[in-house]
């Protein structure tokens, strides 16, 4: 019997505790948000200061004279790296998504002898660290004539990201009713026609998750870029590191802060614009039925 049914009143302090909890929860969350945004505040404020004001001792102060000179210098320094990063991340994420979709489709809907073993090997590839494959990968790209090129970096990222892409698509395609595939077979559709007409139209959430995941990984990569790349193919992460450690006598804090923001803006915009699709796609493959 509940308290309402028995006529018993709730404890006297229950209402006060609930009100305190409702007030304390947003206050605590706001405190965490402020703590998280403090470094961002310092980056933004310093990036808009002229060189004379950009000093660590006055990092918290707003600029007396707002200036975009740091952003202009940052753009000139990072423009080649930004262009390379766009080529690598956009091309590589799209190729990874297409190949992962095809793999996930075959492993989930067109079963063949040894499919489980193949899928296990794909999963095993997710746990191989970069350092373990760096030397043989460099040798392979050298033999192919792709070392130090953007195409070589795209190939390395696509191959290394294929296991996680396959896992995402396979888990998503498992939720698609098998009756749709059987109906397509009865109508005479083959494996390619079924994929194009039945699977691709409902694959939007999985493609969103994979593209965002791969784009972020490729944009933020440093190890592959510095080990397998060359000055002509260096992405923005390597060029940002080179400018930060240039050893200049006078450290240009305004330019370095602007460079850090400029290098991180693309991934930030991707998550701000497509974040809801990312979470929706993750949850779409979480349950079957």
pLDDT tens digit string along 262-285?
999 999 888 888 777 777 666 665
Distance of alpha carbon 195 from alpha carbon 184, whole angstroms: 10
pLDDT band at 289 (very low <50, low <70, confident <90, very high): very low
Report for 57-66, 81-90, 223-232: range of highest mean pLDDT: 81-90
Structure confidence at residue 52 (pLDDT): 86
Determine phi and psi for 255, rounding to 5 degrees: -70, -40
Quote the CA–CA distance of 58 and 46 in Å, as a whole number: 9
CA distance 53 to 43: 14
Distance of CA 117 to the CA centre of its chain: 28
Helices (H), the chain: 3-6, 14-47, 69-109, 115-125, 130-144, 150-173, 178-186, 191-194, 204-220, 223-228, 236-244, 253-284
Eight-class DSSP state of 11:
P
Round to whole Å and give the CA distance between 253 and 56: 8
Give the separation between CA 74 and CA 259, rounded to whole angstroms.
Answer: 5
Query: pLDDT tens digits for 24-58?
Result: 888 889 999 899 889 889 999 999 998 888 888 78
pLDDT at 244 over 60: yes
For residue 12, give both structure tokens. Answer: 């006297």
Q: pLDDT digit string (tens) for 119-144?
A: 888 888 888 888 888 888 889 999 99
Cα angle 261, 282, 280; round to 5: 80
pTM of the model: 0.83
Give CA–CA dist 67/139, Å, rounded: 47
Cα three-residue angle 158-159-161, rounded to 5 degrees:
65
Nearest to 122 by CA among 192, 171, 191: 171
- Residue 64 tokens, joined: 């007396």
Q: Which residue has the tokens 């990874």?
A: 96
Percent of the chain with pLDDT over 90: 39
């Amino acid at each position: 019997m509940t308290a309402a049914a028995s006529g018993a009143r709730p404890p006297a302090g229950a209402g006060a505790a609930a009100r305190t909890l409702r007030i304390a929860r947003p206050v605590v969350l706001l405190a965490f948000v402020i703590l998280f945004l403090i470094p961002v505040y310092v980056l933004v404020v310093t990036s808009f200061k002229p060189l004379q004001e950009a000093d660590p001792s006055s990092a918290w102060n707003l600029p007396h004279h707002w200036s975009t000179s740091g952003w202009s210098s940052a753009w000139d320094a990072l423009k080649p790296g930004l262009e390379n990063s766009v080529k690598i991340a956009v091309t590589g994420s799209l190729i990874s998504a297409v190949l992962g979709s095809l793999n996930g489709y075959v492993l989930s809907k067109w079963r063949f002898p040894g499919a489980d073993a193949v899928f296990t090997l794909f999963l095993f590839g997710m746990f191989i660290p970069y350092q373990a494959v760096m030397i043989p990968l460099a040798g392979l790209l050298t033999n192919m004539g792709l070392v130090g090129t953007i195409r070589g970096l795209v190939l390395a990222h696509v191959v290394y990201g294929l296991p996680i892409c396959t896992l995402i698509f396979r888990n998503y395609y498992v939720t698609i009713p098998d009756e749709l595939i059987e109906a397509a077979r009865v109508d005479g559709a083959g494996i390619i026609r079924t994929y194009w007409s039945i699977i691709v139209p409902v694959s939007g959430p999985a493609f969103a998750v994979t593209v965002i995941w791969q784009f972020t990984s490729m944009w933020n990569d440093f190890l592959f870029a510095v080990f397998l790349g060359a000055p002509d193919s260096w992405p923005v992460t390597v060029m940002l590191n080179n400018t930060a450690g240039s050893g200049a006598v006078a450290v240009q804090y305004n330019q370095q802060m602007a460079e850090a923001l400029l290098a991180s803006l693309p991934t930030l915009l991707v998550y701000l614009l497509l974040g809801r699709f990312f979470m929706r796609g993750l949850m779409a493959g979480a349950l079957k039925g």
